[in-house]
Copies of this chain bind each other. A is one copy, B any other.
């Protein structure tokens, strides 16, 4: 992980939801950052923390986990800044936790305030980021509230795949899955045992494979049908044929796997 290029991940994410000018991208290059590495299930932020910097995820996955019951309320992929809202309210009501090993760039709150006041379009992009987050949360509610366990898991898989692809990862519908089945269970509000059975079901239906910490979606159409997945809510700008629509019929080159989601 080249320290100097942390901002490019963020730029990828921003351009996935908003159109940015060269000047805007130039502003981003000024991003100061310190790199941090985290082990699986390690906590980046506790409820009692009052952070003065944000966590830009560079590699791996993060999630917000409720303090009491461990329920996962959202998952993040590289390019995301899970605690972006702390620039407004530095209070936390959950734990920011790593799912699998993760690499993070710490970015001072001040930086976001600066780019936001320097460029109206960047300010708007940050607002869009916040809006996309809320939209995701609503979708998560729908997932828990009105789908059975099979659809829930399928939906989460679809979402992760599309979000990874939006920042240039998960090519060939294949992505790293360093998280455990119990993590998945906490996200989908099912028991770990049942999570396992659901995955086996998905395997049996030949819609995905999950082996050696890698998930491969072998039948996107079937998976998204099971999940009732529609990617609109993610607010992505990719009007041109979203990658997942039509997976390349050719066999994926086995050498190239997204390393961190």
Point out residues on A near B: beta carbons under 8 Å. Answer: 64, 66, 68-71, 73-74, 85, 88-89, 93-94, 124, 127-128, 130-131, 133-135, 137-138, 140-142, 144-146, 189, 228, 232-233, 235
Contacts and interface: CB of A to CB of B under 8 A. Distances in A.
Given A137-B137, A146-B69, A88 B127 contact: yes
Chain B CB within 10 A, most for which of A140, A232, A233: A140
Contact of A69 (B138, B142, B232): B142
Copies of this protein chain in the complex: 2
Contact of A71 (B64, B133, B142, B189): B142
Contacts of A140: 141
Closest 5 CB pairs of A and B: A145-B189, A137-B137, A69-B146, A144-B144, A73-B138
B66 A146 contact: yes
A93 B134 contact: no
Contact of A135 (B68, B70, B93, B145): B93
Given A93-B233, A189-B146, A71 B127 contact: no
Given A88-B124, A128-B88, A145 B71 contact: yes
14 contacts: A66-B146, A68-B228, A69-B146, A73-B142, A88-B124, A89-B128, A93-B232, A93-B233, A133-B134, A137-B137, A140-B141, A141-B144, A144-B189, A145-B189
* Interface residue SS majority, chain A: helix
Given A68-B228, A88-B124, A144-B144, 10 more contacts: A68-B142, A69-B146, A71-B141, A73-B142, A85-B131, A89-B131, A93-B135, A94-B138, A130-B134, A144-B189
Contacts of A138: 64, 66, 73-74, 93-94, 137
Contacts of A137: 134, 137-138, 141
A168 to B, nearest CB: 24
A95 to B, nearest CB: 12
A147 to B, nearest CB: 8
Contacts of A68: 142, 228
Contacts of A128: 88-89
A93 B139 CA distance: 10
Nearest to A132: B89
A134 B64 CA distance: 13
Nearest to A69: B146
